[in-house]
Structure 1
Amino acid sequence: MSQFPIINNVVYKDFDTLFDIHPVTRKLNVLVNEKAVARSVKNLVLTNKGERPYQPFLGCDVRNRLFELNDRFTEDEIIDNITETINQYEPRAELLSVFADVKPDQNAADVTITFRVVNQTQETTVNFFLERVR
């Protein structure tokens, strides 16, 4: 028996939401650790509250802010909504920073989220352009 405890590395796995099939194993592709948490963070930000059945409070509602008057508080509200949502619904991510650049002429925002996966030391950045579809 060793005097040092055995530390198991935690591995986070999620299905790929594209539901692609691996060409060799013929199974669904799996996202692991940083990629899994990054996809989850992006899905949380893109989900509106009330959009998921039986989970009415899950989501971020930042799309509703895209058509508001562009003042100095709009970016702060988007950043606050994203920060609150990730801290509440994604325990695997340790949020480091959120940046939003609102583009009022396009009714869109350029969002950059930097976080660290709980069992990792490497920082991960998710960057996407949030725009109104309809």
Structure 2
Amino acid sequence: MSERFIGRGWGFPLRVGPTGGIAMVEREREIEEAVRLILGTAPGERPMRPEFGCGIHDQVFAPGDSATANRVAHHVRSALERWEPRIEVTDVVVAFDAVDEGTLYIDVRYTVRTTNDRRNLVFPFYTIPFDDDADGGAG
């Protein structure tokens, strides 16, 4: 019963399987790809499901500070609680890359509900830092 709940579906991104058809994924891999799909989709991006996705994309031009990290964590938790019923989100930790100031790593820690299997997924998210010194090319 638990394997049916976890499911089987098309791999994402779409790709060709070993027999030439659409590649399928199942069980925990299917959940992981679903989580990545939710986080990688901005609300409004899908015409037939305009509410689907995660609001982290609104933070692309936000400063790299703790307030942005908190907003990102909130968006991730809210989106996964709404769109992925097969998991329970236990924690979302947002860390900034020490070298690349425009990269945040979102560490999603979750439990698969039917198997009680604890997992985590690290999702890279890229921001575009605002340059205060730029003159906009006004020379």
TM range, smaller chain:
0.7 to 0.9
Amino acid at match of 2:107: T
Cα pair distance change 1:30/1:77, threshold 3 Å: same
> What is the Cα deviation at residue 122 of structure 1?
1.5
Whether the aligned pair in 1 keeps the contact of 2:94 and 2:105 (CA below 8 Å) is: yes
Gaps of 5+ in 1: 1-7
1: CA distance, partners of 2:17 / 2:53: 30
3-state SS of the aligned residue for 1:48? coil
> What is the Cα deviation at residue 59 of structure 1?
1.4
TM-score, with structure 1 as normaliser: 0.80
1: CA distance, partners of 2:112 / 2:125: 23
2: CA distance, partners of 1:19 / 1:42: 13
C-alpha RMSD of matched pairs (Å): 2.2
Alignment of structure 1 residues 23-102 onto 2, 5 Å: 23=18, 25-102=19-96
Find the counterpart in structure 2 of residue 123 from structure 1.
118
Spell out, residue by residue over 1:24-47, the C-alpha distance to the aligned partner (whole angstroms, 9 max, x if none): x44332211211111111111111
Find the counterpart in structure 2 of residue 19 from structure 1.
14
> What is the Cα deviation at residue 69 of structure 1?
2.6
Whether the aligned pair in 2 keeps the contact of 1:66 and 1:109 (CA below 8 Å) is: no
TM-score, with structure 2 as normaliser: 0.77
Name the count of aligned residue pairs. Answer: 125
